[in-house]
Structure formats: structure tokens, C-alpha cells
Amino acid sequence: MIAQEAPNSLRSFSAGLQGFLLGIVFVVIAMINLDLGFINIGFSLIPVTVIYLWPTRASYSWSLLFIFMLGIVNDMTSHGPLGIWSICYLLLFIIMEGGLNPKASFRNAILGFFLSLVFVVLLAYIIGYLSLGHPPRMMGFVGSIFVALLYFPVFFWIRNLFGYKRSTMVT
């Protein structure tokens, strides 16, 4: 995706916008925290799923803009320092070179997603520590990684289902 932009600019803009709008929904879901006695279940890393499964038909330049805006929205809703999530999401997207390969096996996808979560958590921890002056709660991040690994197979299956239907409709 980096080497070539999508041939139809309206289609590539639309794909990036769809990823952004789905990301907004996931940012709202990320604000949910369930306290079950001494266990806190958080969904703060659910927007990483959108970055990891970003639409492959979106152009790289529109994707960068939409991912930056998604990070700003996440920063504003989480009441944290402005720019932390934007930097984390953009760096993850750039390192992944535009998202997950659509033909990746489930094993490779879950391993890559786990590594992406660890990368984002470490980066958010470092930037949070530098900007806040004290370390963020690491146990919240660890719990969010566990929850993210539980829901990822559902989103991976849905993405593959829609990708399969689109490819069969075109041919």
C-alpha cells in the first residue's frame, strides 16, 4: 500500500473514512470500564484493533490523516495528555507499513496483534511518564491487553468474512 496509492481517490478516501468512523465507535467503546470486585476490565486498547485491521483500499496519505484524527479523538475522550494516542497509532501504522496483510493466517495475525499491543502499551507508558511526570498504571494496560486478545478473533473473523464476500461479488 505504501508503494502505490489506490487508483480511485474517492474510493481510497471512502475506505479511510470508514476506518476512521469505525475507530470512533471503538474509541467510545474504549471508555467502558467494568469493575467486578477487585478486577478491573478495560477496553482502552480496542482502537488498536482498527489500526491493525485498517482498510487495505485506503490510501496511505488519507490513512495517516484519519489515524492522527482518531488518536486526537481518543486523547480527548480519555482526558489524557493530547497527542499520546495519536503518536502511538501513527507509529504503529507506519511500522506495520499500512496494516495487516489481508492474506495473513490467524496465527500470524494474533501474534502480530499481540506485538502491536505490547508496542503501543510501551510507547504510551514512556510518553505518559514523560508528559505526566509519573508512570501510568501498568496493571490497567496489562488487563487491556488480555481483553484485547480475547475479542480480536471476532474482529479478525468479521474482517475476513467481509473481505471474502467482497472478492466473490467482484468476480
pLDDT tens figures, 16-32: 888 899 889 989 988 88
pLDDT in tens, 64-91: 899 999 999 998 988 878 888 999 999 9
pTM for the structure as a whole: 0.79
Domains, the chain: 9-170 (1.10.1760)
For residue 94, give the nearest of 64, 58, 73, 127 by alpha carbon.
64
The pLDDT of residue 72: 93
Measured from the Cβ of residue 33, the count of other Cβ atoms closer than 10 Å reads 13
For residue 152, give the nearest of 140, 160, 142, 164 by alpha carbon.
160
Angle at 32 between CA 26 and CA 33, to 5 degrees: 140
147 contact partners, CB below 8 Å, separation of at least 6: 41, 42, 43, 45
CB of 81 within 8 A of CB of 75? Answer: yes
* pLDDT at residue 7 greater than cutoff 70: no
Mean pLDDT across 126-142:
81
